[in-house]
Structure 1
Amino acid sequence: MAQDTPKDNAGFTLPVPASAPPAADAPAAGAAATTATTSTTEPAPALDPVSTTDTSSRDTLIGGVVLLLLFIAFFFAKNAYANGLVAKRVPPNKANASGWWLFIFLASLATGVVLAAVNAHKFLAPLFMGPLVLVGLVALLLTFTSSRR
């Protein structure tokens, strides 16, 4: 029985109409009988806008947790960077300031990426990304200028 294998299934088939015109009633009944025996039809899922689930609050919560974990990692990176500068004979207060500027740069970069991942349509607007990019660039510039001896 080659008809029962999934390879022979033609794919999507239209269901038999509920009311057929009287002239086409006899040929349609014969075609419907052969269609019903050769393949099974499944109703297509309804595309109802009410049945779609809103995941924005869940996505925002996940993005916030990811951002918090990144901030913790960036804090340790800030301390390592400042300690590395102190080892290179940079004064500790300048090394600490440079570390904080590095933290601000990394935090603004991560915030932009997480916001774009949470809702790109809303947060990739210049109103949100412009200030984040500006703060990031200023912080990157100050990271390297404040670490000079």
Structure 2
Amino acid sequence: MAQENKDNAGFSLPDPSAPAAPAAPDAVSAPEAGTATTGFETQPAAALAAENTGSRDLLIGGAILLVLFIVFFLAKNAYANGLVAKKLPPNKANASAWWLFIFLASAATGVVLAGVNASRFMAPVIVGPIAVVALASLVLTFTASRK
């Protein structure tokens, strides 16, 4: 749709077939008058927002993890009591329940970290150990509950 009437002072969208105009530099990245530029580029604000994790996000993630750990502890006790009711010795049932707690806690930690800032916390250096602990504890949950 071509813009025929230029007298309208209201908001109008640019023509989609027209080439995009270069964006104006931010006030933060524009050099001040009388200063020399060094050739380093500054990152756009959107890239910084994706990389930085605010303390508020970490606090919310920590609170969610705390609530989940309490729920997982109650589930651990219920699982151990269920295994004892199936005639498993209490020490084996308790060990299996603790492995279940470690599995649930590590899986929840990975999910919460992904929710807080996936671009920062989903690096192989962080995900790898969490996944190894989760898989090992899942295997030990079932091997510890054998008679």
Q: Do the structures match in fold with TM over 0.5? A: yes
Find 2:11's aligned residue among 32, 41, 44. 41
Number of aligned pairs? 114
* Bigger radius of gyration among the two: 1
Q: Tell me the alpha carbon deviations over residues 11-31 of structure 1, each in whole angstroms, 9 at most, x when there is no partner.
A: xx8xxxxxxxxxxxxxxxxx5
How far is the alpha carbon of 1:35 from its aligned partner? 1.8
Give the AA of the match of 1:66.
I
Q: Does 1:120 align with 2:135?
A: no
The structure-2 alpha-carbon separation of the partners of 1:123 and 1:55, relative to structure 1 and needing over 3 Å to count, comes to closer
CA distance in 2 between counterparts of 1:88 and 1:74 reads 21
Q: Distance in 2 between matches of 1:70 and 1:47?
A: 45
Cα distance change, pair 49–71 in 1 and its aligned pair in 2 (3 A):
farther
Tell me what 2:104 maps to.
106
Identical pairs, percent: 63
Residue of structure 2 in register with 1:16 after alignment = none
Q: Which runs of 4+ in 1 moved over 4 A?
A: 46-55
Q: Paired residue for 1:56?
A: 54
Provide structure 2 residue ranges, at least 5 long, that are not aligned to the other structure.
13-23, 29-44
- Shift, 1:88, TM fit: 0.2
Cα distance in structure 1, aligned partners of 2:137 and 2:113: 19
Q: Report the counterpart of residue 42 of structure 2 in structure 1.
A: none
Root-mean-square deviation (Å) = 2.5
